[in-house]
């Protein structure tokens, strides 16, 4: 220790006084302590570097990890625990694997709420559509329609996605915001922005050849499918490494000023359909009724045919039997038949009058045709009696 | 004690040297090397002159100020244009439209880009101006009905995009080394007056359509009902014809059976009369018969005689 002190003293060219030796010794102690501290830090860093620093845990359900060796793509980890030397030797890039949603409101008006609630702007706002503020689509029949789209996609080729399309430094982050010279917001830049533009491009191209009625009512699904097909084609052309999971059209409306007219037209169309359906139901009912009536007519005729023949056959049998008896005793048979028949007839008839016949006398019989019913007559009489 | 001290003093420099070497190595590597990411390309600038271009990987370099390394992200990026996106453009048939376009481009020629552009913003400013100019020129060559049309054969949006691409891409590449891979349309709108007129027309169209639909529904319903009634009448007529045929067959069959009555036509006629009488005389019938008709002739008979006096006299 004293040797070291002497060495410092010699080097500093100072005289060996008690005052300096104490200070030098303290400085030496501090330098030594700093040296050991730095050594410890470096050792810890080296240990961290070759252990935890290189650990890569991949959540296979949410992400795919790309390993870049000195910046060059080397391999990808899809799940589990991996170890590789950390940055700057290897760079780890996490690319999202889960479904991602882009909601395009490019073609919606500024007052989206009023459109969704199907009512005109009550805050004194203009009903007209201002370019740059109110978004809309022009249809093939030169009409205006508002749409809001929801695209769900996922990255199925992460290396292609990362290397072809400008993403934020970490692709999981939202797109970068582009600022103007005065700090104004000029939009965003990144993969999501590019995909949204491709979606809008596809929507415009397809909508420009469709008519508004088909988009809103008659062939909406076909329209969405056409947009989706064009979007997929554009994404494949750009080799973005993503796949479209679904494309939905949650909002489709005519301009708010025309909603009432569209509603009325839709209602008229529905009313017309109802009338037509009612008429169709009537037609079915009438056809069934015709069938049933026709069947009844034919059945009656068939029954008549059978009845007439069977009656005649029965008469024939009756006549044959009776003829035999008649030949044996004609008068008795005739009287018997006459009496039986007359008895039956008289038993059924309401009024019977037996008039005594006096040959040679002038008798006069007066009968009232259509006599008034007794009950009615009695009732009339009672009425007259009451005051 | 002194031996231990001398051992310690000989070990300390070894650690110090090792540590110093590690630190020095790290610094040297940092100063004399660089790495380029998979998404980047780098320009090597030696003493102010571009001397090379590097792809992804680990590379050696001379330290600043001798060598400067400038890295560029070469991935495709989407640019919507900074200015002029709301400018009205006139179509060939003199209709005002407001078309918003976007481009997808990447930095391809690093040397050209470095020489021509101060930074990316400057290049994009130029790109934006080109987009604005070309858009106006190209839209002016097409009619409005070539931008929107229900007949896909008449639609020229793809051609419009291609025409804009053909004018923007070579120019931007030659000037700034940017490779434009796509020019697309992101909005098509019309001035406020026109959009108001369109909405008014749409309103009228819908009102007319409503009226037509109502009438159409009524007419169609009436037609269906008339057809149904007609069919019913036809079916009933057919059934009645068939019924008549069946009844005629029945009557003919019955007539064939009548031959038996010729054995005694008087008796047959008598039986028919009796049968008719049974059918005719019903509950509301009023019968007036003389006492000379059986069985009322009983009133004329005397008790204990079988024959009536008149009848007996007649006989």
For the stretch B208-227, pLDDT in tens is 988 998 898 899 999 999 99
Chain B residues with CB-CB distance to A164 below 8 A: 75-76
Pick among A342, A353, A363 to test the B interface (most B CBs inside 10 A): A342
pLDDT band at B3 (very low <50, low <70, confident <90, very high): very low
Q: How many angstroms away from the CA of B129 is the closest CA of chain A?
A: 15
Average pLDDT score over residue span B97-120: 90
**Any idea which residue has 């097409």 for tokens?**
B142
CB-CB contact of A275 with B217 (8 Å): yes
Q: Which of A297, A334, A339 minimises the CB distance to B295?
A: A339
Q: What are chain B's domains?
A: 10-73 (no CATH), 77-196 (3.30.479.30)
For residue B104, what pLDDT is reported?
Answer: 93
Q: Does residue A223 surpass a pLDDT of 90?
A: yes
pLDDT digits (tens, 9 = 90+) for B228-283: 999 999 999 999 999 999 999 998 988 888 888 888 888 888 888 888 888 887 66
Q: How far apart are CA B42 and CA A8, in angstroms?
A: 51
DSSP B77-118: EEE--SS-TT-EEE-TTS-EEEEEEEEEEEE--HHHHHHH-S
Q: How far apart are CA A88 and CA B36, in angstroms?
A: 11
DSSP code of residue A242: E
How many A×B Cβ pairs under 8 Å?
372
For residue A384, what pLDDT is reported?
Answer: 54
Q: How many angstroms away from the CA of B47 is the closest CA of chain A?
A: 26
Task: Say if pTM beats, i.e. exceeds, 0.90.
Answer: no
Q: How many angstroms away from the CA of A97 is the closest CA of chain B?
A: 19
Q: Which of B148, B203, B254 minimises the CB distance to A208?
A: B148
Q: Which of B191, B235, B263 minimises the CB distance to A131?
A: B191
Q: Which of B57, B195, B232 minimises the CB distance to A128?
A: B195
pLDDT band at B305 (very low <50, low <70, confident <90, very high): low
Provide Rg for chain B, Cα atoms. 57
pLDDT band at A166 (very low <50, low <70, confident <90, very high): confident
Q: How far apart are CA A69 and CA A86, in angstroms?
A: 10
Q: Does residue A9 surpass a pLDDT of 70?
A: no
CB-CB contact of B207 with B201 (8 Å): no
pLDDT digits (tens, 9 = 90+) for A62-76: 899 999 999 899 999
Q: Say whether B152 and A209 touch across the interface (CB within 8 A).
A: yes
Q: What are B187's strand-pairing partners?
A: B100
Quote the percentage of chain A above a pLDDT of 90: 34
Q: Say whether B244 and A301 touch across the interface (CB within 8 A).
A: yes
pLDDT band at A284 (very low <50, low <70, confident <90, very high): very high
**Residue B58 neighbours by CB distance under 10 Å:** 16
Chain B residues with CB-CB distance to A279 below 8 A: 220-225, 228
Nearest CA in chain A to B227: A283
CB-CB contact of B282 with A338 (8 Å): no
Average pLDDT score over residue span B107-117: 90
Q: Does residue A206 surpass a pLDDT of 80?
A: yes
């Amino acid at each position: 220790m004293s040797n070291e002190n002497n060495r410092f003293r010699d080097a500093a060219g100072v005289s060996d006084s008690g005052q300096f030796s104490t200070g030098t010794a303290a400085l030496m102690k501090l330098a030594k302590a700093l040296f050991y501290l730095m050594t410890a830090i470096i050792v810890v860093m080296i240990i961290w570097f070759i252990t935890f620093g290189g650990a890569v845990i991949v959540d296979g359900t949410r992400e795919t990890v790309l390993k870049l060796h000195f910046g060059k793509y080397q391999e990808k980890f899809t799940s589990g625990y991996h170890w590789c030397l950390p940055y700057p030797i290897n760079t780890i890039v996490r690319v999202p694997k889960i479904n991602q949603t882009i909601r395009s409101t490019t073609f919606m008006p500024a007052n989206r709420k009023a459109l969704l609630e199907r009512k005109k702007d009550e805050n004194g706002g203009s009903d007209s559509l201002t370019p740059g503020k109110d978004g809309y689509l022009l249809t093939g029949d030169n009409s205006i329609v508002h749409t809001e789209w929801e695209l769900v996609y996922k990255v199925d080729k992460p290396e292609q996605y990362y290397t072809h399309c400008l993403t934020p430094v970490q692709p999981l982050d939202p797109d970068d915001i582009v600022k103007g010279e005065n700090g104004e917001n000029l939009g965003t830049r990144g993969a999501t922005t590019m995909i949204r533009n491709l979606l809008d491009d596809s929507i415009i191209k397809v909508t420009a050849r469709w008519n508004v009625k088909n988009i809103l009512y008659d062939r909406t699904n076909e329209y969405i499918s056409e947009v989706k097909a064009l979007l997929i084609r554009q994404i494949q052309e750009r080799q973005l490494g993503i796949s479209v999971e679904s494309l939905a059209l949650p909002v489709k409306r005519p301009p708010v000023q025309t909603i009432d007219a569209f509603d009325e037209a839709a209602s008229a169309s529905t009313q017309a359909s109802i009338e037509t359906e009612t008429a169709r139901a009537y037609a079915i009912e009438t056809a069934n009724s015709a069938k049933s009536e026709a069947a009844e007519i034919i059945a009656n005729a068939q029954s008549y045919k059978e009845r007439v023949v069977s009656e005649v056959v029965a008469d024939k049998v009756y006549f044959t039997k009776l003829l035999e008896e008649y030949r044996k005793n004609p008068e008795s048979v005739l009287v018997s038949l006459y009496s039986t028949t007359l008895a039956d007839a008289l038993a059924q008839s309401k009024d019977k009058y037996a008039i005594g016949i006096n040959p040679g006398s002038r008798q006069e019989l007066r009968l009232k045709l259509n006599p008034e019913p007794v009950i009615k007559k009695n009732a009339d009489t009672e009425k007259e009696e009451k005051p | 004690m002194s031996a231990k001290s001398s051992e310690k003093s000989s070990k300390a420099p070894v650690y110090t040297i090792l540590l110093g070497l590690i630190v020095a190595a790290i610094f040297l590597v940092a100063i004399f090397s660089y790495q380029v990411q998979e998404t980047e390309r780098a320009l090597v600038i030696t003493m102010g002159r571009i001397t090379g271009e590097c792809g992804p990987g680990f590379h050696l370099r001379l330290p600043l100020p001798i060598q400067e390394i400038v890295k560029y992200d070469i991935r495709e990026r989407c640019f919507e244009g900074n200015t002029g996106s709301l400018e009205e453009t006139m179509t060939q048939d003199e209709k005002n439209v407001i078309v918003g376009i976007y481009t997808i481009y990447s930095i391809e020629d690093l040397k050209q880009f470095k020489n021509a552009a101060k930074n990316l913003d400057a290049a994009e400013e130029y790109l934006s101006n080109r987009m604005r100019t070309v858009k106006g020129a190209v839209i002016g060559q097409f009619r409005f009905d070539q931008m929107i049309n229900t007949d896909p054969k008449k639609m020229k949006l793809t051609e419009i995009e291609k025409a804009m691409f053909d004018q923007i891409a070579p120019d931007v590449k030659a000037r700034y080394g940017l490779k434009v891979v796509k020019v697309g349309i992101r909005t098509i709108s019309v001035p406020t007056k026109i959009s108001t007129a369109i909405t008014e027309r749409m309103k009228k169209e819908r009102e007319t359509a409503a009226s037509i639909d109502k009438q159409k529904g009524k007419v169609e319903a009436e037609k269906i009902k008339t057809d149904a009634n007609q069919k019913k009448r036809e079916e009933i007529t057919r059934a009645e014809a068939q019924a008549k045929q069946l009844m005629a067959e029945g009557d003919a069959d019955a007539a064939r059976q009548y031959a038996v009555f010729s054995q005694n036509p008087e008796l047959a006629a008598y039986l028919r009369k009796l049968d008719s009488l049974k059918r005719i005389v019903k509950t509301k019938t009023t019968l007036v018969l003389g006492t000379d008709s059986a069985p009322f002739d009983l009133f004329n008979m005397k008790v204990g005689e079988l024959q009536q006096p008149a009848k007996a006299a007649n006989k």
